[in-house]
Amino acid sequence: MHNLSLFSLKNRALIALVTVVVAVFGGLAFTSLKQELIPSIEVPQLAVLTAHPGASVEVVASDVTTPVEKALQTVPGLLGTTSTSSTGMSVVLAEFEFGTETAKVEQKMNQALGRISSFLPENVDPSVLAISLDDFPVIQVAVSSDDPGSLAGRLADVVVPELERLDGVAAASIVGAPGPRISVTPRFEDMAENGVSAQQVATVLAQNGVLVPAGTIDDDGSSMAVQVGQRLSSVEDVATIPVGAVTLEDVADVEMTTDPTTSYSLVDGKEALTLSVTKLPDANTVEVSHAVRDALPGLEEMVAGATFSVLVDQAPFIEESINSLASEGLLGLVMAVIVILAFLRSGRATLVTAVSIPVSLLVAFVGMQAAGYTLNILSLGGLTIAIGRIVDDSIVVIENVERHMRYGKTRRATIVDAVREVAGAITASTVTTVAVFLPIALVGGMAGVLFRPFAFTVAIAMGASLLVALTIVPVLAYWILKWKGHGTSEDETTAADDLSDTAEATGLIQRSYGRLLTWVLSHRWVTVGIAVVVLVGTGALTPLMKTSFLGDMSQNSLGITQAVAPGTALDDQLEQAREVDEALRAVDGVELVAATIGSTESSALLSGGNESISWSLTTDADGDQARIQEDVRAAITAIVPEEDVTISQLAGMGMSSDVEIAVRGAEAADVAAATETIAEAMRPLDEVEQVATSLTTARPTVSVVLDRALLAQMGTSEAQVSQAIAGMITPQQIGAVTIDGSSVSVYLTPTDPPASVDAIRDLAIDPSGVTVDDVAEVKVEDGPVAITTSNGVRNQLVTVTPLTDDLGQTASVVGDTLDTIDLPDGVTAEIGGVTAEQNEAFSQLGLAMLVAILIVYVVMVATFRSLLHPFLLLVSIPFAATGAVLLQVATGVALGVPSLIGVLMLIGIVVTNAIVLIDLVKQYRDRGVPMTEALHRGSVHRVQPILMTAFATILALAPMAIGITGHGGFISQPLAIVVIGGLFSSTLMTLLVLPALYHLVESIGSRGATRTQDV
């Protein structure tokens, strides 16, 4: 590799030009990178949503959910399904492996559902929804008005088109606005007078407005298609359809109305609609958000009397996180440069060394642009972490160049010889650091998807730093360093044999370390014994570490779910919400309160059909989030029973930090009883803050049981009477028309729908006056609010919220408690959710670490051409755990996936110093220097670059470990803490324990003799 430096010195102008070009391209790449919070993730889950208006829970489960689940079993790659059947709605979640192409799976699912369409109830159409982070709104805006009746229309006509014209906007939709429908309400007196039956009105659309293809004809050489009929395109077209001898409007009221209100939205106590804006897949989240915000003042003027309030905006947190990481990275860069200056005591040498940082980062930006990665908290976190490491190679080169200046050689010979001496070592150390990220490809699940961009950016930056150290740094050293040599000929290659030179470095660090090393080499067994004791102590401290999955994002937002009694009327829910809203807005630190009351498509997907009020609170970003959360809990539980309230704050990547227990069994009653037993056992635990279950109280259901025998005597059937009763209670869809390019459903609306159970009994089912009560038993029964299944088996969830951030401890206590509970026969309970994700990620990262160690060993065997020496260097890895564990325990930061990524980095980092040291010792021994002297001289010569690289990395990471800015630290802080602690302890091991261990092992094999070949 030293030939690169020789080439660079011969082509200095070319190297300078290439450096400028790299800087230009890197700058362009940086400015064009998209800014996101996290990498784009395709969640391997797809949902099948099916509406069956008016159907009870049991009917939805048997007629919709079960057929859909069976149909999905034919989809390749399906891991399992989870379903929820609630009144009028079926939700089936299909889960696949991470990395599955959701577009192909979605197509397969649609094909499977198409094959069962004829077996589903009439007018029931399942829709497949792919869950992707790109589909989540970039920004949501609440719009309230003094004229709410016309607000939806004005937004649709004026605001939505303006928003969708903005660059990067995929769609703007109005949430909470009831859709249009054409209502046909029969007038029975007019129908009787004109001899029109209810059946004629119900089938009127099926017989009119039909467009039928009639083939083709050839006329004068032209082939033309023939179509017969004309579609209905307006309310007037529907109203003037002939029904017998009259038109539909003669016997029924035909008018354009809106769908029944099924939900309300409140923003700071005012009813509002929500504008939801999504972006194109290739668009920049921050740019789209800014464009929408810039457009809002003008839009507000265009909609008179409307008030626009931003509910959710991804951009500020993204910008804060990225800017914070960038600030911490710059602080780290400055501190690394200060360390270099303090050790080298030369502004020129510091400048040459520091150049490697920006050049390596610019190369990384080019690599990110080429690979299609975005600038997010993970990729930027990787670059920030790498800042302390990418300067290491240049430090070793410059320090060695300065040492060689004392040998009286020419400038070129000095640089070439100095680089030759360390080229192999820095190449091996950098390759090992990069190679440890290869096993990331083996890590599956969300952890693998999230951290691959992190690994890629670090690897590119590290590779670039090696090239900079071998090309640009020698050229800059040639130009900038103050020459101290005595040679005059540029062709001179060697003026002194530096390896056989016996002159010791005379610096304070070298002298102090030399004396300490002399004692270590004289007390080798004592040194190794102390090291073993330290390792044992580290093992004893391990149980004191807290564990988590991804940590806490510390966003200034809270989510609240308020359960309501099943069957509570929507208006009554609205009144409850207004009371709670007033209390929440009075809490100090709460800036915005938004509520969703009733059922929407998204609430059905998220809540599983359970009746609840969802709250979203925006809090003061600079406030004490823990205190605000406690004040919010106190305020809401003063009004609502505590068991009906669940408060959550986003954990890492928006994931819940709760421990979930899945309870499964064949019998619903047994599952419910087991669920309640488990919940009661968890509530007294000290580690638990709150416990919630998916159980709800029974929902009252009106059951109409028809007398089949009596109906047969009357000449009718159960199906006919059931359909007639349904039509008198609930509007029935009888068709659809296309108006202005949009499909509008047409409903046959009952004239006077019953408002009570007695009114249902009094409904007349035929012209003779026979009522429902005459042919059926009408009674009120308690039925389930929802039926949930997992792979076809009944299941319920117990959700346990930890009191602290120690997810592992809470999961352990929950697991121990669960083992003591006697469950009914046929019922099982297992811990899942984020705990299962954590366990899977930990096990996969553990495997990745073992593979990384093997890769590092192979690289070092290739470098040293020995099986023994690399094995000795691997001993530094467990000593890295000592500092990492100590610092994790001392700071109280939980061990999570970011920490384990830091451990993976440590595997590559900690052996680099050992490689640099042992490589020089090996060179001395190959020249015939006795082992003890070789160890002493090599270690003393390498102590300064080893300490420089270690302290530069440690201080570069210090701002992130401290969390100076406080934003985006849930990824970078634990990672930085692990690297700092591990690097500190492994450096001490490299400088003290490794020489002693090397001497002991080599003495066993060679009895301390000098050698001329590898042992």
Question: What's the per-residue H, E or C state across 555-596?
Answer: CCEEEEEEECCCCCCHHHHHHHHHHHHHHHHCCCCEEEEEEE
Compute the average pLDDT of residues 807-818: 84
* Per-residue pLDDT at 495: 38
Q: In angstroms, rounded to a whole number, what is the distance separating the alpha carbons of residues 918 and 946?
A: 12
Does residue 957 lie in a domain region? yes
In the listed set 258, 275, 293, which residue is the last one of a domain according to the structure? 258
Burial of 775 (0-12, 13-18, 19+ CB in 10 A): buried
Question: Please, what is the angle between helix 994-1006 and helix 524-541, to 10°?
Answer: 130
State in Å, rounded, how far the first CA of the chain is from the last one: 25
Beta bridge partners, 692, equal 799
Residue range 227-243, pLDDT digits in tens: 888 888 888 888 888 88
With b for 16 or more beta-carbon neighbours within 10 A and e for fewer, the 151-180 pattern comes to bbebbeeebbeebeebebbeebebbbbeee
pLDDT range class, residue 713, cuts 50, 70, 90: confident
Cα 424 to its chain centre, rounded Å, is 40
Residue range 372-399, pLDDT digits in tens: 888 877 787 778 777 777 888 888 888 8
* Per-residue pLDDT at 952: 81
Beta bridge partners, 312, equal 140
Does residue 200 lie in a domain region? yes
Res. 431: pLDDT tops 50: yes
Query: Does one domain contain both 119 and 222?
Result: no
Max intra-chain CA distance, the chain: 124
Phi and psi torsions of 736, nearest 5°: -155, 150
Res. 1014: pLDDT tops 50: no
Q: In angstroms, rounded to a whole number, what is the distance separating the alpha carbons of residues 572 and 562?
A: 14
Helix (H, G, I), strand (E, B) or coil at 665: strand
> Under a CB-based contact definition with an 8 Å cutoff, are residues 354 and 330 in contact?
no
Please, which residues have CB within 8 angstroms of residue 232's CB and are 6 or more apart in sequence? 205, 208, 209, 238, 241, 737, 738
Q: In angstroms, rounded to a whole number, what is the distance separating the alpha carbons of residues 615 and 594?
A: 6
Compute the average pLDDT of residues 910-926: 81
* Per-residue pLDDT at 482: 77
Res. 441: pLDDT tops 70: no
> Under a CB-based contact definition with an 8 Å cutoff, are residues 184 and 238 in contact?
yes
Burial of 17 (0-12, 13-18, 19+ CB in 10 A): exposed
What residue type is assigned to position 148 of the chain? P
* Per-residue pLDDT at 940: 87
**C-alpha distances in Å from residue 985, one per residue of 447, 753, 938, 990, 991:** 27, 78, 20, 9, 10
What is the CB-side half-sphere exposure of residue 854 using CA atoms within 13 A?
8
Query: Does one domain contain both 198 and 118?
Result: no
Does residue 268 lie in a domain region? no
**Nearest in space to 975 (alpha carbons), one of 906, 914, 905, 902:** 902
Query: Does one domain contain both 997 and 876?
Result: yes
Question: Please, what is the angle between helix 834-864 and helix 807-819, to 10°?
Answer: 120
Res. 24: pLDDT tops 90: yes
Compute the average pLDDT of residues 931-942: 85
Does residue 289 lie in a domain region? no
Does residue 65 lie in a domain region? yes
More confident call, 604 vs 905: 905
Does residue 917 lie in a domain region? yes
Compute the average pLDDT of residues 919-932: 83
Give 71's DSSP letter: H
* Per-residue pLDDT at 602: 53
Give 621's DSSP letter: T
* Per-residue pLDDT at 1008: 42
Res. 775: pLDDT tops 60: yes
Phi-psi category of 681—alpha, beta or left, where left has phi over 0 and alpha has psi -120 to 50? Answer: alpha
What is the CB-side half-sphere exposure of residue 712 using CA atoms within 13 A?
3
Res. 1013: pLDDT tops 50: no
pLDDT range class, residue 840, cuts 50, 70, 90: confident
Phi and psi torsions of 174, nearest 5°: -100, 120
Give 968's DSSP letter: S
**Dihedral (Cα; 978, 981, 983, 986), 10-degree rounding:** -120
In the listed set 243, 258, 273, which residue is the last one of a domain according to the structure? 258
Query: Does one domain contain both 117 and 204?
Result: no
3-state secondary structure 368-397: HHHHCCCECHHHHHHHHHHHCCCCHHHHHH
Residue range 962-1010, pLDDT digits in tens: 876 655 555 678 888 888 888 888 888 888 888 888 888 877 755 444 4
> Under a CB-based contact definition with an 8 Å cutoff, are residues 654 and 553 in contact?
yes
> Under a CB-based contact definition with an 8 Å cutoff, are residues 476 and 356 in contact?
no
CATH of the domain at 910: 1.20.1640.10
Q: In angstroms, rounded to a whole number, what is the distance separating the alpha carbons of residues 694 and 798?
A: 7
What residue type is assigned to position 35 of the chain? Q
Query: Does one domain contain both 188 and 125?
Result: no
* Per-residue pLDDT at 919: 79
Give 269's DSSP letter: T
Query: Does one domain contain both 126 and 188?
Result: no
What residue type is assigned to position 138 of the chain? V
- Give the residue numbers spanning the domain of 75: 45-130
Q: In angstroms, rounded to a whole number, what is the distance separating the alpha carbons of residues 949 and 957?
A: 12
The two beta strands, 306-313 and 557-563, are unpaired
Compute the average pLDDT of residues 458-471: 88
Give 544's DSSP letter: G
Rg, C-alpha atoms of the chain: 36
Does residue 247 lie in a domain region? yes
Res. 484: pLDDT tops 60: no
Q: In angstroms, rounded to a whole number, what is the distance separating the alpha carbons of residues 111 and 690?
A: 43
Query: Does one domain contain both 872 and 994?
Result: yes
Beta bridge partners, 145, equal 306
In the listed set 98, 130, 162, which residue is the last one of a domain according to the structure? 130
Q: Cα angle at 177 between 730 and 201, to 5 degrees? A: 30
* Per-residue pLDDT at 82: 87
Quick count: other Cβ atoms within 10 Å of Cβ 490?
A: 11
* Per-residue pLDDT at 291: 92
* Per-residue pLDDT at 697: 63
Query: Does one domain contain both 123 and 223?
Result: no
Q: How many domains does the chain have?
A: 3
* Per-residue pLDDT at 687: 82
| Tokens matching residue 748 | 């046959």
CATH of the domain at 222: 3.30.2090.10
Res. 501: pLDDT tops 50: no
Compute the average pLDDT of residues 306-321: 80
> Under a CB-based contact definition with an 8 Å cutoff, are residues 140 and 117 in contact?
no
Highest-scoring range by mean pLDDT, 490-499, 618-627, 893-902: 893-902
CATH of the domain at 77: 3.30.70.1430
Q: In angstroms, rounded to a whole number, what is the distance separating the alpha carbons of residues 251 and 637?
A: 54
Query: Does one domain contain both 996 and 904?
Result: yes
* Per-residue pLDDT at 303: 85
Query: Does one domain contain both 91 and 194?
Result: no
Q: Cα angle at 547 between 543 and 548, to 5 degrees? A: 170
pLDDT range class, residue 789, cuts 50, 70, 90: confident
Beta bridge partners, 735, equal 746
Query: Does one domain contain both 196 and 99?
Result: no
pLDDT range class, residue 17, cuts 50, 70, 90: very high
Q: In angstroms, rounded to a whole number, what is the distance separating the alpha carbons of residues 553 and 937?
A: 49
Give 638's DSSP letter: T
Q: What is the mean pLDDT of the chain?
A: 81
**C-alpha distances in Å from residue 954, one per residue of 111, 333, 879, 948, 957:** 56, 11, 16, 10, 5
Does residue 241 lie in a domain region? yes
Compute the average pLDDT of residues 307-327: 79
pLDDT range class, residue 599, cuts 50, 70, 90: low
pLDDT above 70 covers what percent of the chain? 91
Q: In angstroms, rounded to a whole number, what is the distance separating the alpha carbons of residues 986 and 902?
A: 14
Helix (H, G, I), strand (E, B) or coil at 721: helix
Query: Does one domain contain both 874 and 955?
Result: yes
Segment among 133-142, 401-410, 497-506, 857-866 with least mean pLDDT: 497-506
Res. 180: pLDDT tops 90: no
pLDDT above 90 covers what percent of the chain? 2
> Under a CB-based contact definition with an 8 Å cutoff, are residues 940 and 947 in contact?
no
**Nearest in space to 487 (alpha carbons), one of 409, 539, 599:** 409
Q: In angstroms, rounded to a whole number, what is the distance separating the alpha carbons of residues 574 and 418?
A: 78
Phi-psi category of 118—alpha, beta or left, where left has phi over 0 and alpha has psi -120 to 50? Answer: alpha
Res. 791: pLDDT tops 90: no
* Per-residue pLDDT at 967: 54
Cα 830 to its chain centre, rounded Å, is 24
Q: In angstroms, rounded to a whole number, what is the distance separating the alpha carbons of residues 567 and 892?
A: 46
Q: In angstroms, rounded to a whole number, what is the distance separating the alpha carbons of residues 956 and 966?
A: 17
Res. 553: pLDDT tops 60: no
